[in-house]
Amino acid sequence: MSAPLNVTVSDGGVARLHCDVDGFPDNISVDWINDDSVVASTWQEAVARRRYVLDADTASLTVINVSTEDAGMYTCSAYNGLGALATASAYLTVTCEQAHHLVT
For the chain, domain boundaries: 7-93
Q: What is the pLDDT of residues 62-84, one digit of tens each?
A: 998 888 989 999 999 888 878 77
Encode burial over 45-60: b for 16+ CB neighbours within 10 A, e otherwise: ebeeeeebbbeeeebb
- More confident of the two residues 50 and 96: 96
pLDDT at 71: 93
- More confident of the two residues 62 and 52: 62
pLDDT-derived band at 44, boundaries 50, 70, 90: low
Q: What is the pLDDT of residues 81-102, one digit of tens each?
A: 787 788 899 999 999 876 544 4
* Fold designation for 7-93: Immunoglobulin-like (2.60.40)
